[in-house]
């Protein structure tokens, strides 16, 4: 019975993820090279998931954001692609966002800029500093009501925004991205 539930749950969650990918592709928003690689016709693709941990605290509407590296291997051509996936859970619905390996350096630089410059400023008006990936993952900081808030959104097609109450969570985000870069380098090279 436990095996059946495990298989059923895995199947169900995989279908949700692929349905979201399909929706992104249909709407023309999806430009993630790793996901396009994983969907190639005439290929036998093996997907391996490596946990990077989570960031954030359990809240009323949201659970912590979960991060993973996904390695896609075409076993016929021996080609590999990797990406980072983030999972946002909102009201018991899973939302996935994807960052290609070549976007992670820009994410690390963006987080560092936000941490070292943006969060130290005190604007007089509402201000936002945001990074957006090819596949629609967004993260940044927003100054509103005299304080900064950090946020991350899994993709632009849904309302999967997680706002972090503690601006120090940006350090945790930076560490996860650095960890992802290291893991992808290890798996691809």
Which DSSP string corresponds to 84-153? EEEEEEETTEEEEEEEEGGGHHHHHHHHHHHHHTGGG---SS-EEEEEE-TT--EEEEEEETTEEEEEEE
Residue in 136, 187, 131, 105 with CA at minimum distance from that of residue 21: 136
DSSP category for residue 67: E
State the residue range of the domain holding 94: 2-188
Number of neighbouring beta carbons within 10 Å of residue 157 = 15
Dist. CA 41–CA 54, nearest whole Å: 33
CB 136 within 8 A of CB 24: yes
Give me the pLDDT at residue 25, please: 45
What is the domain count for the chain?
1
In order along its 189 residues, the chain shows pLDDT tens digits of 544 443 334 344 444 444 444 554 444 455 788 889 989 888 999 999 999 999 987 665 567 899 999 999 999 999 999 999 999 887 778 889 999 999 999 999 999 999 999 999 999 999 999 999 999 999 999 999 889 999 999 887 776 778 887 888 899 999 999 999 999 999 998
- Identify the residue whose tokens are 């430009």: 31
Dist. CA 38–CA 81, nearest whole Å: 8
Measured CA to CA in angstroms, residue 91 lies from 88, 94, 150, 168, 186 at distances of: 10, 9, 20, 25, 35
């Amino acid at each position: 019975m436990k095996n059946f539930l495990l298989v059923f749950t895995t199947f169900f969650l995989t279908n949700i993820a692929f349905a979201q990918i399909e929706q992104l592709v249909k709407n023309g928003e999806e430009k993630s090279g790793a996901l396009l690689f994983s969907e190639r016709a005439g290929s036998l693709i093996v997907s391996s998931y490596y946990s990077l941990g989570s960031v954030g605290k359990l809240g009323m509407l949201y659970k912590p954001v979960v991060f993973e590296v996904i390695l896609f291997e075409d076993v016929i051509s021996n080609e590999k692609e990797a990406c980072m996936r983030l999972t946002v859970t909102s009201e018991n619905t899973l939302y996935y966002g994807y960052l290609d390996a070549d976007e992670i350096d820009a994410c690390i630089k963006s987080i560092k800029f936000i941490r070292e410059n943006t969060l130290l400023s005190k604007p007089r008006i509402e201000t936002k500093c945001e990074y957006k990936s090819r596949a629609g993952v967004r993260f940044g900081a927003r100054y509103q009501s005299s304080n900064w808030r950090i946020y991350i959104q899994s993709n632009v097609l849904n309302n999967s925004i997680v706002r972090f109450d503690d601006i120090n969570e940006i350090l945790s985000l930076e560490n996860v991205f650095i960890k992802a870069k290291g893991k992808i380098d290890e798996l691809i090279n």
